[in-house]
């Protein structure tokens, strides 16, 4: 829909969830079907984009260690597209409000006078807990959870502090998880503290590995997709719990 001769359109920051198409909210899917243009992350799956066949699709992905789109350019694209289309979707992996740079995009749209709405998605930590059937909290064991990342803005130094919580969930935890494990061991966490690592959460190529904190400190090796690391006593496997079916491929690389 050409919207250049009327008022600016509206931008929706939509959470795509962890990857599986049917884990997106109904509201998010409905808005995708109405969008004139969709600016999407690199981690958004092709199956998710099938929900908006009518839309112009613009890849504005950010992947660690790879060429990525500058945030200032993304902000400008959102404003420019809202002046051309009635419905503009910024489709983000997981939830827009958690490690999604939503603050920068919201500020740019607000300053330009563009209406904006946020549609939440399932953040990967919750999808990973469900996929592994491993609750992040457990009575008598864990009553606090921290979601954190070591990633920083350009020019900033790496964040070295580890949150003080019963269960730790590290996003973008591939290379950084090794350093996190070393810091936790230095702080007195026991070497056998259970760790669950999930790669490509909710996707057909999902892989899961369970290991102790001391082994995590040795690294995870090469990875083919986004990795999330869950650490804490709540990650202990229940006695009657069936082993994860897809542990082996990642375990061999650990």
Which of the residues are catalytic? Answer: 41, 62, 172
Q: How far apart are CA 194 and CA 181, in angstroms?
A: 11
Beta pairing class for 194-199 and 115-119: unpaired
* 3-class state of residue 40 by DSSP: strand
Q: How far apart are CA 193 and CA 140, in angstroms?
A: 16
Beta strands (DSSP E) in the chain are 10-15, 37-40, 56-59, 87-92, 115-119, 145-148, 167-170, 194-199, 207-212, 227-231
Beta pairing class for 167-170 and 145-148: parallel
With residues binned 3-state (H G I as helix, E B as strand, rest as coil), the percentages for the chain, rounded to 5, are 30, 20, 50
């Amino acid at each position: 829909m050409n919207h250049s001769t009327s008022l600016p359109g509206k931008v929706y920051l939509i959470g795509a969830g962890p990857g599986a198409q049917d884990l997106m909210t109904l509201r998010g899917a409905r808005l995708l079907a109405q969008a004139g243009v969709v600016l999407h992350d690199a981690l958004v799956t092709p199956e998710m984009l099938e929900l908006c066949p009518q839309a112009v699709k613009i890849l504005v992905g950010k992947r660690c260690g790879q060429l990525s789109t500058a945030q200032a350019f993304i902000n400008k694209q959102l404003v420019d597209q809202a002046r051309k289309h009635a419905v503009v979707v910024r489709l983000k992996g997981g939830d827009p409000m958690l490690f999604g740079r939503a603050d920068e995009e919201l500020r740019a749209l607000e300053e330009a006078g563009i209406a904006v709405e946020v549609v939440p998605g399932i953040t990967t930590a919750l999808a990973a807990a469900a996929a592994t059937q491993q609750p992040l909290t457990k009575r008598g064991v864990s009553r606090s959870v921290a979601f954190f990342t070591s990633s920083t803005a350009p020019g900033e130094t790496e964040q070295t502090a580890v949150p003080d919580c019963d269960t730790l969930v590290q996003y973008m935890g591939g290379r950084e998880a090794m350093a996190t494990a070393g810091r936790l061991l230095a702080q007195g966490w026991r070497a056998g503290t259970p760790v669950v690592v999930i790669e490509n959460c909710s996707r057909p190529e999902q892989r899961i590995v369970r290991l102790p904190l001391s082994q995590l400190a040795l690294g995870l090796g090469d990875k083919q997709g986004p990795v999330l690391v869950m650490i804490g006593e709540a990650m202990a496997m229940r006695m009657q719990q069936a082993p994860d079916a897809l542990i082996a491929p990642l375990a061999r690389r650990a």
